[in-house]
Chains A and B, each alone.
Chain A
Amino acid sequence: MSVEFRKDLFADERDDNLNEIGKPTRRQDILGHVTGRSPFYDDHLFEGLLHVRCVRSPHHHARIRSIDTSEAERMPGVVKVIRASDVPNNFNTLLSLLNFGRDDEPLISDKKVAYIGEPVLAIVADTDRQARDAVAAVRVDYQVLPHVLDVEDALKPDAPVVNETYPNNTFDYHDKYDHQKLRFGDVETAFSQADKIIEGRYQMSPIEQAPIETNGAIAAPETNDRFVCYTSTQALFFSLGTTAKLLNVSSNRLHFIGGTVGGGFGGKVDSLVEPMAILACMLTGKPCRFVWDRPEEMQVGAPRGAERWYLKDGVMNDGRIIARKFTGYFDAGAYTRLSSYAIIKGTAHLPGPYTIPNVSSDVFCVYTNRTPATAMRGFGVTGVDFAIESQMDRVAQAVGMHPVELRIVNAYRDGDMKAHRREAKNCALIECAQVAAEKASWPIRDEFKRMSSLHGGGGERARIPYTVTDENGRIGERRSGGVAPRPTTVLPPATPAPPPPAVAPTPTAQPDYAHPAAAPPYTPLSPAPLGPPPATPQPSPPLTKEPAEPPARQANRPGYSRFASNSGFRRR
């Protein structure tokens, strides 16, 4: 495999004495892999191993009237029936280990099921076949409830409540907001000054990680009243902590052994198999194996969640995007898992790698009667990147511009201010776009070939704009669920937009977007400063008012700040 280094780019910026990159290095574990000796969790043999299988909901949404196990209990090989009441602490949310979000999910549900495949009972038997036969003999009386499978339908007032912990069908951010909010500048005023308004609606389906090794765990009693657990987990201590909480045992009684994972891609962090295997082991005193089969991996295994995005851009005829507004809906499925966190991560990524002086975003973590969603390779960012880059192509088409040039003209440059109030550093999008255009034989104009991430950033572009607030000093409604924007397609003004009135409707003077001062310069090779200063002087925003929200939270929530969006508001 040949690797091409473009050491001409940023040559004066870094030490490029790379000793490893570009040279093949043998994996330290590859001998085990090619000899079939790598110890995956299922490669541990135990005498008298018992097998666990779950009775699972065939319905999207149903109340459980009764569960009849009388026939199953008499079947050959059945050792133990595990009920919800056998789970010592049968209510959890994954991120409770970080004190983020409220408990919302049982390990075994015997009252209500909220997605197809939700476990309602588990059976331990001598063989996997016997456990399966016994599962088939369990009679569950379901009262089927109305279900909702679409994120925007779930926000309608008459939608069924999916998850009783969050009766509005949305995760509560900061205990106040039904969405995660981002405000930077004033998109509405900028829209009124834009040459064109371009809107788009984008969505992606859930994606199953589909590792070849399915989720599973084997647990066995150990000396000193401990339990050993061989597991497929991608997050060993996360799974250990989750198990300790659900089973209400001290974590030092749990001896987790992992590290050899047959593909994960995010689908092995939810810690659903370890607590079940260890609980079965505790209840029987025997080694127990709980392994998902392939249909369970595909149906019950948490996928990358579906997302739907509405984007609205205000664009000048020269391709500069002066305002971008997002409304996003993450389909969390029936329970939170990691979707709440994905949205915070995704919001910090907006508006993509572009310097846009006015950005607004509301993103909802929505509960539906679908399989709960979780991590997968860049989750939280991947879906919105698809939306952003698709939107960039539409913008390019609308202004009649080369798509690569459009990206170059809007790209972050060193020193620019991002919408989440961090300075852009070590930018390289312009250079990447230039090389990509060259490799694809898709020529761009010389002035775009001369542009650089190193020049033209900072200055006016480093300014944090005054961010509009309402009469309550807030940057917008706390609860705006239930009002979905209508999808509209490309919507150029019917008549050429009149120049904005001299008297702006807001109390704040806006940048003059007709002049490129607050936008990418066109002669970056020149060391000269940027173009003329803005026609209207910028008021310096009062520092105390700057992040009007989210409200700072104090104390006794360890781990909170790590996921709080306000942690990014301070410039480093």
Chain B
Amino acid sequence: MTKKPIQFKLNGADKAVFVDEGQNLLDVLRRGVGDLSPKYGCAQGTCGACTVLVDGEPYLSCLVLAQTMEGRQISTTAGLVVDGGVDPLQEAFMENFAAQCGFCTPGMLMAAKALLDRNPKPSREEVIEAISGNICRCTGYEPIINAILDAAGRGVGRRSA
């Protein structure tokens, strides 16, 4: 199988990795460069557990061919933690009981982050729209929506560099 080298930035750090032709971004992040925060839920683009940001936009990493990521900036939940401290968005998730099993949480956080970066003061409807591609089976959506609105109230939505 032909391997191809690609380079991209992951949470601000340079990464270089060989990828297979058909390999998806989720697999490269998890098993190629060891960022385990995006999760495998369906590999069909239906559950949203693998959501990451590519140049600030939310992508389903299970449906993205890794080869197309040359030179892109990728952000994941693991990168929200800066200098050992959690992001206010993560703090809001903890405060509002917005994670039960925790498996959909990294994808939810990335979908929320993309929203707040684009729209720092979203309405409740806009929050619901932003996470409509992410399935949660145990926490329930209400605490998650409340957490995102709470984070917006804390001024999370400054456009990050």
Query: Which residues on A are within 8 Å of B, measured CB to CB?
Result: 24, 26-27, 29-38, 40, 42-43, 45, 129, 210-214, 260-265, 291, 293-294
Contact = CB atoms under 8 A, between A and B. Distances in A.
Given A31-B94, A294-B44, A213 B39 contact: yes
Contact of A263 (B38, B94, B101): B101
Given A34-B99, A36-B105, A263 B137 contact: yes
Contacts of A40: 39, 103
A495 to B, nearest CB: 53
Contact of B94 (A30, A129, A264): A30
Contacts of A38: 102
A24 B78 CA distance: 26
Contacts of B43: 293-294
B41 A212 contact: yes
5 contacts: A30-B93, A45-B36, A211-B103, A213-B39, A214-B40
B36 A212 contact: no
Interface in B79-127: 80-81, 86, 90, 93-95, 97-106, 109
Nearest to B138: A263
Contacts of A32: 102
Contacts of A291: 40
Contacts of A129: 20, 22
A472 B47 CA distance: 59
A40 B39 CA distance: 9
How many of chain B's residues touch chain A, expressed as a range? 35 or more
A356 B100 CA distance: 40
Interface of B: 20, 22, 30-31, 34, 36-44, 46-47, 49, 76-78, 80-81, 86, 90, 93-95, 97-106, 109, 135-138
A393 B95 CA distance: 41
Contacts of A210: 137
**Nearest 9 A/B pairs, CB to CB:** A36-B37, A33-B102, A262-B103, A36-B77, A294-B42, A33-B99, A34-B90, A36-B106, A43-B36
Given A35-B80, A37-B37, A213 B103 contact: yes
B20 to A, nearest CB: 8
Nearest to A210: B137
Nearest to A264: B101
Given A34-B105, A212-B103, A294-B43, A24 B97 contact: yes
B47 to A, nearest CB: 6
B104 A212 contact: yes
A45 B38 CA distance: 14
Contacts of B104: 212
B41 A30 contact: no
Contacts of A24: 95, 97
A481 to B, nearest CB: 36
Contacts, number: 105
Nearest to B35: A36
Contacts of B103: 40, 211-213, 262-263
Given A27-B99, A35-B77, A262-B103, 19 more contacts: A27-B97, A27-B100, A29-B102, A30-B102, A31-B94, A34-B86, A34-B90, A34-B99, A36-B76, A37-B78, A43-B36, A211-B103, A212-B39, A212-B101, A213-B40, A293-B43, A294-B42, A294-B43, A294-B44
Nearest to B142: A1
Contacts of A30: 93-94, 97, 99, 102
Contact of A35 (B90, B100, B101): B90
A24 B47 CA distance: 29
Contacts of A31: 86, 94
B1 to A, nearest CB: 8
A261 B20 CA distance: 30
A211 B99 contact: no
A236 to B, nearest CB: 16
A212 B97 contact: no
Contacts of A264: 101
Contacts of B101: 33, 211-213, 261-264
Contact of A26 (B47, B77, B94): B94
Given A30-B102, A40-B103, A294 B41 contact: yes
A126 to B, nearest CB: 10
Nearest to B23: A129
Contacts of A27: 97, 99-100
Contacts of A45: 31, 34, 36
Contact of A212 (B31, B49, B90): B49
A27 B139 CA distance: 12
Contacts of B20: 129
A33 B86 CA distance: 12
Contacts of B105: 33-34, 36
Given A262-B102, A262-B103, A263-B103, A34 B109 contact: yes
Contacts of A261: 101
B44 A265 contact: no
B159 to A, nearest CB: 21
Contacts of A34: 77, 86, 90, 93-94, 98-99, 102, 105, 109
B138 A265 contact: yes
A40 B106 CA distance: 13
A37 B37 CA distance: 7
Contacts of A29: 102
B79 to A, nearest CB: 9
A263 B80 CA distance: 24
